[in-house]
Amino acid sequence: MSERPYKVHNGPWLVATCMYAEDAATIASHYEGARIKVAGRVVWVEGKEDTSAGESVDDVVATIHDRCNQHRREAFEKVYGRTEER
């Protein structure tokens, strides 16, 4: 898989594309206001959240994964009109 789903933006500039959320969070910690996008959706804004990537990369990664999963569930419900069965 060569796609790098995590995009780190600082203002209008694309700073990095990353394979792993941990790498994107580490890079974002160096820029105030950096945004991490997945599939075109902003899932993290450095400095606007309860914690910063500089304090805890693990918390940032957990938040990113939770938001990505929430977007996926919402998209599934929109297309199929029901929630996923597990």
Mind spelling out the 3-state secondary structure of 14-70? EEEEECCHHHHHHHHCCCCCCEEEECCEEEEECCCCCCCCCCCHHHHHHHHHHHHHH
Residue 41 Cα to chain centre, angstroms: 8
Tell me, rounded to whole angstroms, the distance of Cα 22 from its chain centroid: 10
Domain range for 22 is 6-80
Residue 1 confidence class, pLDDT cut points 50, 70, 90: very low
Across 55-77, average pLDDT? 94
Q: Is the dihedral of CA 62, 16, 33, 73 positive or negative?
A: negative
- Give domain status of residue 35, yes or no: yes
pLDDT band at 82 (very low <50, low <70, confident <90, very high): confident
Question: pTM here?
Answer: 0.86
Instruction: With respect to residue 1, please indicate whether it lies within any of the assigned structural domains.
Output: no
Band of residue 85 on the pLDDT scale cut at 50, 70, 90: low
pLDDT at 23: 97
Per-residue pLDDT tens for 22-42? 999 999 999 999 999 999 999
Q: In this structure, is residue 75 part of a structural domain? A: yes
Assigned domain for 53 exists: yes
Residue 61 lies in a domain: yes
